[in-house]
Amino acid sequence: MSAERKPAVDGPRSSESETRADATPPSRSQPLGMTPLPAASDARTENANAEGTAWLGTVLGLAAWTMFFASLAFAVGWYRMREPWPTLPVSLLGLSLTGLLLLVGSAVLHLGLRRRESPWPARGALLLGLGFLALQAMWTHQAWWTEHVRIPEGGVSASAFHGLTALHALHVLVVTFNLFLVCWRHTRGADVRASLRRHVLGWHFVTAMWVLLFVAVYLP
């Protein structure tokens, strides 16, 4: 990190440029007003602190990112107010069962966090996530090829169905991948409890956003 400090004095000093002789090199100058009190610190609280900070960051970040989906829902809501929204040719039951996978994953992960050591809840959720993605892919595939809900012919409702499903699936993909990384690190013996706690938040987030998606786009 020493490269960070490029203080004026370290280099070969050109003597003629100086107006005031440096009694103390700037990088070392002890400021006048400093008589700090000793501050206690120990490693464990520091660690807990860092964990708490990361957790807060995750919570706030996800909460703020809700605005992304809220904006998408706002847009779709606007279209739905303008004109009647066509019923999706895809089975609503199938779509809700797909979403159920995320909900189940949320429950599994939530309960799994209480039972400390077992890696299985996270692995189970991993499967559920992949299953969700596969099923969503299947529904969109069916809508596109069998039911001819296409872009751009299908207008704004088809755009919303395919576009928002894809955007949400992208988020699920990221969350699932993160979960995979956590599982992987766990198998290599790392302590992942704190990071698992954070990634579970991500899972809850995509689950909640799926509900929003369902209400905004899928419901007739």
Partner 1 sequence: MSLLSLDHKAVARRYLWSGLGFLLLGGLLALAIRWQWAWPGRSVPGLAWALPESHGALTPPTYTAVFTMHGLVMIFFAVTPLLFGALGHFVLPLAIGARGLAFPRLSALGYWVYALGGVLMLASFAVRLGPASAGWTAYPPLSTSAFTPGLGQTLVTVAVLCAGTSAFTYGLNFVVTVARCRAPGMTWGRLPLTVWGLFFASVLNVVFVPVLAAATVLLLMDRLLGTQFFIAGAAAVGGGGDPVVYQHLFWLFGHPEVYILILPAWGMVGDLVAFFSRKPAHGYRLTAGAMGTVSALSGLVYAHHLFTSGMSPLLGRTFMVLTLLISLPAEVMFLNWLMTLWRGSVRLTSPMLAALATMVVFGLGGITGLALGAVATDVPLHGTLWVVGHFHLTMGAASFLGLFAGLYFWFPKMFGRALHEGLAKVHVLSSAVLFLGVFGGQLAAGYAGQLRRLYDPYQYTYLKHLLPLNQWTTVCAFLLGAAQVVFVVNLVWTLRRGRAAEANPWQVGTLEWTCASSPPGEGNFTQVPVVLRGPHALSQPEVLEQLGRDWIGQAEVLPGVAREGAGEEALATVSTVRSVT
- List interacting residues with partner 1 (CB under 8 A): 1, 3-9, 14, 17-20, 22, 24-41, 45, 48-49, 52-54, 56-57, 60-61, 64-69, 71-72, 74-75, 78-79, 82-83, 151-152, 155-160, 162-163, 167
Q: Which two tokens stand for residue 123?
A: 């692995």
| Least distance CB 100 / partner 1 (angstroms) | 26
Distance in angstroms (rounded) separating the CA atoms of residues 10 and 121: 56
Of the pair 85, 214, the CB lying nearest partner 1 is at 85
| Least distance CB 14 / partner 1 (angstroms) | 6
**Residue burial 2-31, b: 16+ Cβ < 10 Å; e: rest:** eeeeeeeeeeeeeeeeeeeeeeeeeeeeee
Quick check: 112 and 120 in contact, CB under 8 A?
yes
| Least distance CB 123 / partner 1 (angstroms) | 27
Of the pair 14, 93, the CB lying nearest partner 1 is at 14
What count of other Cβ atoms lies within 10 Å of the Cβ of residue 85?
Answer: 16
| Least distance CB 59 / partner 1 (angstroms) | 10
| Least distance CB 12 / partner 1 (angstroms) | 11
User: Does a cis peptide bond (omega within 30 degrees of 0) precede residue 152?
Assistant: yes
Of the pair 39, 43, the CB lying nearest partner 1 is at 39
Quick check: 106 and 124 in contact, CB under 8 A?
no
| Least distance CB 48 / partner 1 (angstroms) | 7
How long a stretch of residues is the chain?
Answer: 220
List the Cα angle 192/196/199 in 5-degree steps.
145
Of the pair 112, 154, the CB lying nearest partner 1 is at 154
Of the pair 26, 94, the CB lying nearest partner 1 is at 26
Which residue's structure tokens are 């692995």? 123
Which residue's structure tokens are 């949400």? 168
Of the pair 48, 211, the CB lying nearest partner 1 is at 48
